[in-house]
Structure 1
Amino acid sequence: MSILDATASHPRADADTAGPDDRPRSLYVHVPFCVRRCSYCDFAVQATREAPTDDWLDAVAMEMRLLAEERGWSTPLALDTVYLGGGTPSLLRPDAMAELRRRLEPFAVWNDSAEWTCEANPESFTAETARAWRDAGVNRISLGAQTFHEPALRWMGRMHGVDGPRRAVEAARAAGFGSVSVDLIFGLPSRLGRDWGADLFHALALEPEHVSLYGLTAEAAAPLGRWVSEGRETLADEDRYADEYLLAHERLTAAGFEHYEVSNFGLPGRRSRHNFVYWTGAPYAALGPGAHAFHPPLRRWNVRGWDAYRAMLLDEHRLPTDGEETVDEETAGLERAWLHLRTDRGWPLGDAGDAERRLAETWVRQGWARVEDDALKLTADGWLLLDRLAVEMASAAEKRAAPAARQAPVLAR
């Protein structure tokens, strides 16, 4: 149980006939550099003491140019959201955000009304970096606090110490940031002695506008995955995992946060606009090692290694594509159910069939959902069962669609 993210074969898009929905209005940019890899991390990261900022800027700018050529974007994309994730974007030189914006201008532009988020680690988010980012137009910070418990921080491999998040938030506020999100991890091994309630208290004391939760998982490629497989570490059992998740729901909603998505809480008006692009199935572009893009119905992802990514772009001048897939009808149906149910918009009941309505009645009786605004919306208890419930709803919706398909008239050729 977990809560949580060969180019020649592609025909060039026709810029003259493509509709506005074909052009992404959101961009994700991956920064792969970290001083060290955390124990639970299986992301595309490169351990380094000093991030090669100039090479990274050269590479992502080249990728954006090649992508625009391939997709037929003859005019710059007009972006509503930009998200710099990692890795550790705050390891880059302070002027990197201003330079990134300048280099992308021929292909993608955004104004002050766009949501521009950058992830940061407390130890590398300095007052200088905060000021430079704000001057460049960054208007939202996602801060990787994870925990305020010193032994747990050491176990994770985090470097910022218990007081690091407070200093980082102070730097953000002093630079003029009015939107700060704090990341926390729950479900840690019990032997660490971390008090989850205390972590929630410390997070709220920072007065963030947004909080994201991540349930600890043992990914096979991460050090933690190896520890668990070797019997050297034990994760939280399902009961404690659920108890901590529900405690977070209780404490954060009592503090005025809206639990608007399975893992995310925002004060009114402070929801993540960028993440909603993923959750609604809209197209988005992506740059950087391991980055995933969606150009419906095509899903594509890049090579994960920094050295391979850099070489493909700067030496070979070709897109760093590692793989792709076309989302078929069955997969799209399951994803539609999963995406609807993971946010508080819920599953629409207006044209629901009998199977969907029977399922809704069962979930409401179990306390897993409520009906509101003609939609079936999962409760916090229901979100703990999201993967299972999404499969059930996709199956119920398929039963509604099947008779309609059978009754469709056959057209003469």
Structure 2
Amino acid sequence: MADRPRSLYVHVPFCTRRCSYCDFAVQATREAPTADWLGAVAGEMRMLADERGWTAPLRLDTVYLGGGTPSLLGPDAMAALRDRLRPWAEWGDDVEWTCEANPESFTPEVARGWRAAGVNRISLGAQTFHEPTLRWMGRLHGPDGPARAFDAARSAGIGNVSVDLIFGVPARLERDWGADLVQALLLEPQHVSLYGLTAEAAAPLGRWVGEGRETLADEDRYADEYLLAHRTLTGAGFEHYEVSNFGLPGLRSRHNFVYWTGEPYAALGPGAHAFYPPLRRWNVRSWDAYRDHVAAGRLPTDDEETVDADTGGLERAWLLLRTDQGWPLDDAGDAVRRLAAQWTGRGMAREAAGRLRLTAEGWLLLDTLAVQMASAAETDALAAALTG
């Protein structure tokens, strides 16, 4: 399995403008160099297959195009991508093929072209419906942009659309988070992803906060908005199945579960991360450097690491606790069971069907709780080794 991943992530680094909060591997450009990008990712795929010894094409279950802004590539890009990758990777109609899109560039023509190529899921970057906050973020669409994009998707026959929303924006913007949630539900999405605003050092917002020019939401308001989203979306029939993700029954993100369950996945493009257990690898972030590496016949690897036992224990706790699959209790030792009792008593988790699942209140403390669980599991493992 480690040598034959069944999921592929492909990064599109192009944006018309960098948003204020963004520190992703993106390059601002008026027009995406689609042909150059297609040639580069196909070249990387060829070299990757040679290096990994994939003598037959990978048979993929999920494909995810992220960015950046994949919708800048135009209506014919997905068909061209599928054709260019066919010697090394192929997928059928049963694949979950997700493409990220921004409302202003996801036109009816793009929607029709993508659907004809086989794309069947869209992740739409709405972020907010509040015009002053959209301007502050540097977004190029207005409050009505997401509705037009949803119409384009559905008219083209793409019935599975996820919407991204950002919470925890500065209070001075006077954005009504509850109203944003209602606006999102009125679009009748199949999935909602939430992102708490953070001030990354490399992003414009990070500089503003560092210089004292901007103030993010405090911990209490951050928590209040997260819990309001939980109540609103679950009340509307969505399953809160992962710390930041909500899906209607049967419409969870299959691709993201590959990440959360530790399965292998391949990745192409600037800044893209891949996992071939126990090896984790990531590419150079710059589009120019990435293109030059591939053109010179070199894999565009920036660095890699091996997930060892210590790292793996913490990572396992973090991954299991971040979804509603939770931590298995059937074979748990005393330390894990004591911790489970503490968490359930404080309303941070619940036990069901032999598993410990975090509540929304618990997910707010995920990083801390994952460290505690990894430590408890290690204690139990040492006790078992001493007594066994």
Please give the residue correspondences for 1:69-84 in structure 2 after superposition, counting only pairs within 5 Å: 69-84=50-65
Q: Identify the residue that residue 358 of structure 2 maps to in structure 1.
A: 378
Q: TM-score, normalised by structure 1?
A: 0.93
Q: Identify the residue that residue 19 of structure 2 maps to in structure 1.
A: 38
For the residues of structure 2 that align with 1:405 and 1:123, how far apart are their CA atoms? Answer: 59
State the shift of 1:178 in Å: 1.1
Q: Identify the residue that residue 176 of structure 2 maps to in structure 1.
A: 195
Which letter maps to 2:334? Answer: D
Instruction: Please tell me whether residue 346 in structure 1 is matched to residue 308 in structure 2.
Output: no
* Identity score, percent: 78
State the shift of 1:76 in Å: 0.5
Q: Identify the residue that residue 149 of structure 1 maps to in structure 2.
A: 130
- Is the 2:284–2:300 Cα contact (8 Å) retained in structure 1? yes
Q: Identify the residue that residue 319 of structure 1 maps to in structure 2.
A: 299
- Is the 2:242–2:323 Cα contact (8 Å) retained in structure 1? yes
State the shift of 1:402 in Å: 1.4
| 1:83-104 Cα shifts (integer Å, max 9, x gaps) | 0000000000210000000010
Which of 67, 79, 83 is the matching residue for 1:98?
79
For the residues of structure 2 that align with 1:319 and 1:403, how far apart are their CA atoms? Answer: 45
Which of 214, 218, 222 is the matching residue for 1:233?
214
Which of 136, 143, 150 is the matching residue for 2:117?
136
Other structure's SS at 2:304 match: strand
State the shift of 1:328 in Å: 0.8
Other structure's SS at 1:208 match: coil
Instruction: Please tell me whether residue 330 in structure 1 is matched to residue 316 in structure 2.
Output: no
State the shift of 1:22 in Å: 3.1
| 1:349-382 Cα shifts (integer Å, max 9, x gaps) | 0110000000000000100000011000000000
For the residues of structure 2 that align with 1:83 and 1:261, how far apart are their CA atoms? Answer: 18
Q: Identify the residue that residue 401 of structure 1 maps to in structure 2.
A: 381
Which letter maps to 2:237? Answer: G
For the residues of structure 2 that align with 1:25 and 1:406, how far apart are their CA atoms? Answer: 39
| 1:73-119 Cα shifts (integer Å, max 9, x gaps) | 00000100000000000000210000000010110011010100000
Instruction: Please tell me whether residue 247 in structure 1 is matched to residue 235 in structure 2.
Output: no
Which of 137, 147, 151 is the matching residue for 1:170?
151
Instruction: Please tell me whether residue 118 in structure 1 is matched to residue 99 in structure 2.
Output: yes
For the residues of structure 1 that align with 2:307 and 2:340, how far apart are their CA atoms? Answer: 27
Other structure's SS at 1:124 match: coil
Instruction: Please tell me whether residue 160 in structure 1 is matched to residue 141 in structure 2.
Output: yes
- Is the 2:3–2:54 Cα contact (8 Å) retained in structure 1? no
For the residues of structure 2 that align with 1:210 and 1:405, how far apart are their CA atoms? Answer: 44
Which letter maps to 1:241? Answer: Y
For the residues of structure 2 that align with 1:50 and 1:38, how far apart are their CA atoms? Answer: 17
Other structure's SS at 1:304 match: coil
Which of 248, 253, 259 is the matching residue for 1:278?
259
- Is the 2:2–2:277 Cα contact (8 Å) retained in structure 1? no
Instruction: Please tell me whether residue 183 in structure 1 is matched to residue 164 in structure 2.
Output: yes
Instruction: Please tell me whether residue 360 in structure 1 is matched to residue 336 in structure 2.
Output: no
State the shift of 1:251 in Å: 0.4
For the residues of structure 1 that align with 2:80 and 2:2, how far apart are their CA atoms? Answer: 28
State the shift of 1:407 in Å: 5.8
| 1:260-296 Cα shifts (integer Å, max 9, x gaps) | 0000000000000000000000000000000000000
Other structure's SS at 1:336 match: helix
Q: Identify the residue that residue 370 of structure 2 maps to in structure 1.
A: 390
| 1:27-76 Cα shifts (integer Å, max 9, x gaps) | 00000000010000000000000000000000000000000000000000
Q: Identify the residue that residue 15 of structure 1 maps to in structure 2.
A: none
Other structure's SS at 2:337 match: helix
Aligned length: 388
State the shift of 1:21 in Å: 4.8
Other structure's SS at 1:70 match: helix
For the residues of structure 2 that align with 1:407 and 1:81, how far apart are their CA atoms? Answer: 44
For the residues of structure 1 that align with 2:18 and 2:365, how far apart are their CA atoms? Answer: 30
Gaps of 5+ in 1: 1-19, 409-413
Which of 268, 271, 275 is the matching residue for 1:287?
268
Q: What RMSD in Å do the two structures reach over aligned CA positions?
A: 0.8
Which letter maps to 1:27? Answer: L
Which letter maps to 1:367? Answer: G
| 1:366-408 Cα shifts (integer Å, max 9, x gaps) | 0000001100000000000000000000000001111344467
For the residues of structure 2 that align with 1:381 and 1:53, how far apart are their CA atoms? Answer: 43
For the residues of structure 2 that align with 1:385 and 1:93, how far apart are their CA atoms? Answer: 41
For the residues of structure 2 that align with 1:61 and 1:94, how far apart are their CA atoms? Answer: 18
For the residues of structure 1 that align with 2:57 and 2:354, how far apart are their CA atoms? Answer: 39
For the residues of structure 1 that align with 2:347 and 2:226, how far apart are their CA atoms? Answer: 16
Which of 205, 211, 225 is the matching residue for 1:224?
205
Q: Identify the residue that residue 205 of structure 1 maps to in structure 2.
A: 186
Other structure's SS at 2:356 match: strand
Q: Identify the residue that residue 16 of structure 1 maps to in structure 2.
A: none
